[in-house]
Structure 1
Amino acid sequence: MNIWIIDHYSSEPKYGGYSRQYYFAKEFSKRNYNVLVVASSFSHFTHSYISTEECFFTEINKNAHYAYLKTPEYYNNAGLKRILNTFSFVLSVRRHYKEMIKKYGVPDIVVGCSVHHFTWLVSYYIAKRYKARFLVETRDLWPQSQIDEGMSVYHPMVIILKILQKWAFDRADKIISSLSKADKYICGVLGYPKEKMVLIPQPLDCIEYEKNQNRYNELPQEIIKFIGKSFLCVFAGYYIDYEGVNEMLGAAKIIKDNDLPIKFVFVGSGPEEEKMRKYVDDNKLNNVFIGKRIKKELIPALLKRADICLAQMAIRNNPTSFEYGISKNKISEYMYSDSCIIYGSYQKNQVINSSGAGYVIEPFNETAFAKKIKLVFNMDEKERKKFGINGKKYIIENETVEKLVDKYEKLFY
């Protein structure tokens, strides 16, 4: 059976994109499926090309491959050029799909993956043409997310996305979502039957993750030197307001003012980076290191060294934001890291606290971050290690790539 997964922002981990489809492709290939992941060759995350060829093929193994299609470059994730890149990807899939069929065969399953809805159009076109089963995956509930951020329900983009969403969901054989509570929206709000959708969260390849945990010495030497033997808090991700990075820095200042020997390492990129660096300089925070993105494969080694992993997902002054859950590889990786997680969210019922992997606190609250950091710092080591044990146990029981593919595989028939 041939499976095509069309996902604009996917890539192999070494290229720094979304790795969800890569892990699924590897596991499907072990079960004798032939998998092709179709993605853009211009990385949304590094703003650089994986390849400048019009259609560039790579091999994960003999049964799993990537097709990277060239799309125009852009350097502002909210700009017009990104929109043009989106349409270009759809047109590029349409232009090259016969070349992919010639190389890898006709698809029996076509999975069209958002973030953006236009991928669903071309995925359905290919599925219909070859009488393949059509699955829709949604990792973000656009346009509800834009409405949550303050966009009018009458905005042309919201109207277009709603039309595309209904069009795709109506035609899908199954709807997949990686959001933990997406069924409340898709079934409860939109009215689709529960048997039409399935929740498949972000997968974790535990074997690969554990191998990468042993690569600490490959981290940038400036990070290793900064950390030393200190008690450590780590943030890895996007430097943007809704991820709470500024409040985490505020917590670092409180910690420094209290003369606690705790260091903070931030690795990532995003629009808040300049503001973050200025805050660190203005407040002479010698307990904070703000770094650029590091290789995806090295993140597990940094997280394993951490005593606390910091995260937040919340839109400022919007208590209903992310009420249908989040879709972040980061949270699964945090939970498997052996560390305690401190997570800012308006939604208090989270797997982080229900599993015993850490604490959920009020978002955008530097005092709350600092208070929990001090609480964990003052615990004895045995008590602190329980967080990591609980988090890893949850992932093993619920979110390994093997368990999720068991679930995914049922959608093919």
Structure 2
Amino acid sequence: MKTIWIIDHYSSEPKYGGISRQYDFAIELSERGHNVVIISSAFSHFTHTYISENAYYISKINDNMHYVYLKTSPYAENDGISRLRNMLSFKKAVIKNSDMIVKEFGKPDVINGCSVHPFAWVAAYEASKKYQARFSVEVRDLWPTIWVLNGDKSKYHPLVLFFGTLEKWAYRKADRIIYSMAYGDRYICDKLGFSKKKTFLIGQPMDCERFDRDAETKKSQVPEEIRTFMKDSFTCVFTGYYMKYEGVYMMLEVAKLLKEKGCPIKMLFVGSGQEKDGMEAYAKENKLDNVYIGSRISKESIPALLKASKICLAHLAIEDHEETYQYGVSKNKVNEYLYSGACTIYGFLYKDDAVATSGAGYVIEPFNSQELAQRIEEVYQMPESQRAKFGENGRAFINENHRVQVLTDKLEQVFFG
């Protein structure tokens, strides 16, 4: 039995929300006989509340898989000095508690340090040297390059220079580099010059069995008000962050266009974010009774919600910064959309995205409300048998390319090959 530590600040069990990537991999690895420990923060980035108030809290998932939640400093906003303090406190907590984790679960054979933020890499590296374990780096967001590409910061900004130095340091030290965005190698290898021999693409996994099970058994967890809104309706669903780059105002504009044309199509938004008040004001001002703007719902109820929808809506683009996502993205919810059985419509600049190439939906020009409205109407008017093809194609694509068992085969090769 090999012991694997996955150090991921933002990972948690699905019942706490957040990103399920590490949970899904760890479940599969544990079922293959590996001893897996996920080390993460007890303070949720998504709810801004504590999973546990304890400084050190163990959650047993099964005999071979455990979460270790470490208490870190809180923060109210997802940027600023308090967020940075939280990152540093996580690194400090990992190092402080590493001997206790070894005593509980044994020395690690592999330590996988996972960004978003690179201080997790530092903690993973220090632990790997201490316990003589293989050190792998996982990158799901290209900090700090993304700040420069989206126009948020200059390439000479002190934070960009600092994190850029830290990034290259981690890539040099790593025995293996894992990236999850489709073209991450163009940045890590072609631009920064790191060897492709130690660089591996492992995308976002889908636990298809859990999705199907939750879609059937968690229907009652979808709030009654949402179920009533969707009942007997052709509904387009958006889940996620209420941010401008997610195209939420463009989608509301489409709802207005569809209402003016008399199309009996509804738009449902479920999520959270800084634009919620603005979205609600827009809907109220334009009397959009075909729109529902809700708060976050449980992660476990999302499959039931998506399965009840006809179209799933996604969008990712920064206005006036077309180059922002040239290396691809790790957008877990798009995988869920593709597997849901609905048609997916994605506002994204790169037409070779899997949404289009798999035949599961359409990739449209970002912020183009006319094109989105046209596509929605087109899908609405299709015979049910034709519309079902989108879902069939999406599920086939996910099963072949993102099923957790398929990607865990690759992950084992990275960890132990």
- The TM-score, its normalising length taken from structure 1, stands at 0.99
Letter of the 2:360 counterpart = A
Match of 2:64 in 1: 63
**Cα displacement string for residues 350-405 of structure 1 (whole angstroms, at most 9, x for unaligned residues):** 01100001000011122221111111111111111110000000001111000000
Q: Aligned partners of 1:294 and 1:351: how far apart in 2? A: 27
Residue 264 of structure 1 pairs with residue 267 of structure 2: yes
Residue 199 of structure 1 pairs with residue 201 of structure 2: yes
Letter of the 1:348 counterpart = K
SS in 1 for 2:86: helix
SS in 2 for 1:229: coil
Give every structure 1 segment of 4 or more consecutive aligned residues whose post-TM-superposition deviation is greater than 4 Å. Answer: none
Residue 28 of structure 1 pairs with residue 45 of structure 2: no
Q: Identify the match of residue 247 of structure 1 among 239, 245, 250.
A: 250
Tell me the CA shift for residue 326 of structure 1.
Answer: 0.9
**Cα displacement string for residues 121-151 of structure 1 (whole angstroms, at most 9, x for unaligned residues):** 1100000111100000000011110001211
Q: Aligned partners of 2:356 and 2:381: how far apart in 1? A: 19
Match of 1:313 in 2: 316
**Conserved in 2, the CA contact under 8 Å of 1:201 and 1:399?**
yes
Q: Identify the match of residue 365 of structure 2 among 362, 365, 385.
A: 362
Residue 233 of structure 1 pairs with residue 231 of structure 2: no
Q: Aligned partners of 1:17 and 1:70: how far apart in 2? A: 17
Residue 135 of structure 1 pairs with residue 136 of structure 2: yes
> What 5-or-longer segments of structure 2 have no aligned partner?
none
Letter of the 2:189 counterpart = C
Tell me the CA shift for residue 218 of structure 1.
Answer: 2.5
SS in 1 for 2:288: coil
Matches within 5 A, 1:283-322: 283-322=286-325
Match of 2:395 in 1: 392
The alignment of Structure 1 onto Structure 2 pairs a total of residues equal to: 413
Letter of the 1:156 counterpart = P
SS in 1 for 2:95: helix
Matches within 5 A, 1:59-98: 59-98=60-99
Match of 1:184 in 2: 186
**Cα displacement string for residues 192-231 of structure 1 (whole angstroms, at most 9, x for unaligned residues):** 1211111111100111110011122321000011111100
> What 5-or-longer segments of structure 1 have no aligned partner?
none
Match of 2:379 in 1: 376
Q: Aligned partners of 1:340 and 1:168: how far apart in 2? A: 40
- The TM-score, its normalising length taken from structure 2, stands at 0.98
Matches within 5 A, 1:345-360: 345-360=348-363
**Conserved in 2, the CA contact under 8 Å of 1:253 and 1:285?**
yes
Match of 2:176 in 1: 174
Q: Aligned partners of 2:203 and 2:356: how far apart in 1? A: 17
Letter of the 1:384 counterpart = R
Among the aligned pairs, what percent are the same residue?
Answer: 50
Letter of the 2:138 counterpart = E
**Cα displacement string for residues 259-299 of structure 1 (whole angstroms, at most 9, x for unaligned residues):** 11111111100111111111111111000001100000110
Q: Aligned partners of 2:219 and 2:390: how far apart in 1? A: 21
**Conserved in 2, the CA contact under 8 Å of 1:321 and 1:346?**
no
Tell me the CA shift for residue 79 of structure 1.
Answer: 2.2
Tell me the CA shift for residue 254 of structure 1.
Answer: 0.6
